[in-house]
Amino acid sequence: ELVGGVFLFSENFESKEQVGRLTNEINGISKKCNKKIIVMTDHEGGFLQPFTNGFSSIPAARRIGDIYDIDPTCALIFSKNM
């Protein structure tokens, strides 16, 4: 079975609500056609954060790694509460 994908970029939408409507529509089409469609973006945190307005800010993964090097338990709590 083939899998299709849609990659979202910040320049292709105006609001968080619009992204929600778009992903709901894509998921609806996916179910209607009985095909798997993956909706994705590259939102790594830190410098690469294409979704900013109305979305949560995510720290760079290296920052969590730095915390983990000092206190693994604290880093796990921090990452779960982002």
pLDDT of residue 28: 92
Each residue's pLDDT tens digit, 9-28: 777 778 888 889 999 999 99
The whole model's pTM is what? 0.58
- DSSP assignments along the chain, one per residue: --EEEEE--GGG-S-HHHHHHHHHHHHHHHHHTT-EEEEE----BTTB----TTS-----HHHHHHHHHH-HHHHHHHHHT-
Each residue's pLDDT tens digit, 36-72: 888 887 666 555 556 767 777 778 788 889 999 999 9
